[in-house]
Amino acid sequence: MNAWELIIQQPVINALIVISHYLASNFGLAIIALTIIVNICMLPLTRRQLRSTKAMQDLQPRIAELQKKYAKDKQKLAQEQMRLYKESGVKPAGCFITMIIQMPVWIALYQSIMLSLAVAPEGLLNLSKYLYSWPVVYAALPLGREFLGMNLAEPSFILAILVGATMWLQQKMSMTTSSDPKQAQQSQMMLWMMPLMFTLLAMSFPSGLALFWASSSIVRIVLQYRITGWGGLRKAPSSEVEKDKKYLKFDESAEKSIEAGAADIIIADGEPSKPGKVRYQPGKDRSRRRRKR
């Protein structure tokens, strides 16, 4: 056994088997439980990553401004961006480093699930070398594959769809509208490509793995909500107001005194606003209107 197997895979596999044993020999529940446990263990890292990502997103408008301002001076642009990051306390590499640290844990978890499922006879034979000499571990194997009427060793269409949907939601939550059209286009592409790709993979691999992906996404959605809120899922406040707006054009004669010719009136709940609630467009002088009356 190599170091990776000894330090990472073996403990995770044995933990999965023990959890499964104590959860009524239900391997599906064991996958969900271990996903939650691992997420809780990595919470400090996840929190740091999410906050870092959020801070980066918040800086996007200012970065866009800098890009516009120093479009012809790349060196100055880089300097100004670094200064902005420093002032805001954001480390651009921070979220990537956190992701790199988390990656081996996710790969180990993923491999351990596949090994523990022991779908083929070779897999079961191979699994024997990872087992601790605890009676509970030996007695629990091979693990039951039934979960909610699904065979965890075979692909499941429903779980594949769930993987795609939860991944899309999570991606959408972590996405913000960029002022740069190219960047916005790329984000949109990633928003659809990643969930689509994982859906296809989930339709091809044992559904035990799809269950792991889906539960991971759900856990991350919950964590993300707790740490940064709904993020990209929340509608922009301005657009909400726009949706509820109705526009009425004032009679020409009533508008003689107003230079612009037309004014916006916000109608709440479909009812025209009272005269006192008339809101003028920016730049219009309310006192001048009163004087005319």
Partner 1 sequence: MTLKQGKRRAGMILLLVFMLIAIGLAGSGCVKGLAPIGWSGGAVSDGTLFVGSREGRLVAIDLADESRQWGDPLRTTAQGGGFLGCAPGAAGGGCGAGASGVAIYGTPVVSGELVYIAGYNGKIYAYTTDSLAMRWVYPREGNLEPIVGGVVIAEDMVYFGCSDGSVYTLDATNGDPLWKFETGDRIWSTPTVIDNTVYIGSFDKKLYALNATDGIKKWEFETEGSIITTPLVSNGIVYFGSFDRSFYAVNAADGSLKWKFMAENWFWAKPVILNNTVYAGCLDGKVYALKGDSGDKVTEFNMGSPVASSPVIVNSSIVYTSREGIVYVIDTGSNALSQLAVIEEEVYGPLAIHEGIVYIHTQDLALHRVNAINGAVLRTVSLKVPE
* Interacting residue with partner 1 among 164, 206, 231, 232 (CB under 8 A): 206
* Interacting residue with partner 1 among 3, 24, 44, 135 (CB under 8 A): 135
Residues 6+ apart with CB under 8 A from 121: none
Q: Is the peptide bond before 195 cis (omega within 30 degrees of 0)?
A: no
Q: What is the C-alpha to C-alpha distance for residues 231 and 224, in angstroms, rounded to an integer?
A: 8
Q: Select from 52-60, 69-77, 182-190, 227-235 the region that touches partner 1 (CB under 8 A).
A: 182-190
Q: What is the C-alpha to C-alpha distance for residues 221 and 219, in angstroms, rounded to an integer?
A: 5
Q: How far is CA 231 from CA 172, 186, 218, in A?
A: 8, 18, 15
Binding mask 144-173 for partner 1 (x = CB under 8 A): -------x-xxx----x-------------
Q: Which two tokens stand for residue 32?
A: 């969900």
* Interacting residue with partner 1 among 75, 122, 276, 292 (CB under 8 A): 122
Is-contact 155 203, C-beta < 8 A?
yes
* Interacting residue with partner 1 among 40, 189, 222, 262 (CB under 8 A): 189
User: Based on CB atoms, which residue is closest to partner 1, 180 or 255?
Assistant: 180
Residues 6+ apart with CB under 8 A from 250: 258, 262, 263
* Interacting residue with partner 1 among 96, 138, 225, 230 (CB under 8 A): 138
* Interacting residue with partner 1 among 182, 274, 290, 292 (CB under 8 A): 182
Provide the residue type at 245 as one letter.
K
Q: For the chain, how many helices (H) and strands (E)? A: 13, 2
Residue 110 binds to partner 1 (criterion: CB under 8 A): yes
Shortest Cβ 187–partner 1 spacing (Å) = 11
Q: What is the C-alpha to C-alpha distance for residues 28 and 136, in angstroms, rounded to an integer?
A: 18
Residue 184 binds to partner 1 (criterion: CB under 8 A): no
Q: Which residues bind partner 1 (CB under 8 A)?
A: 107, 110-111, 114-115, 118-129, 131, 133, 135, 138-139, 141-142, 151, 153-155, 160, 182, 186, 189, 193, 197, 200-201, 203-206, 209
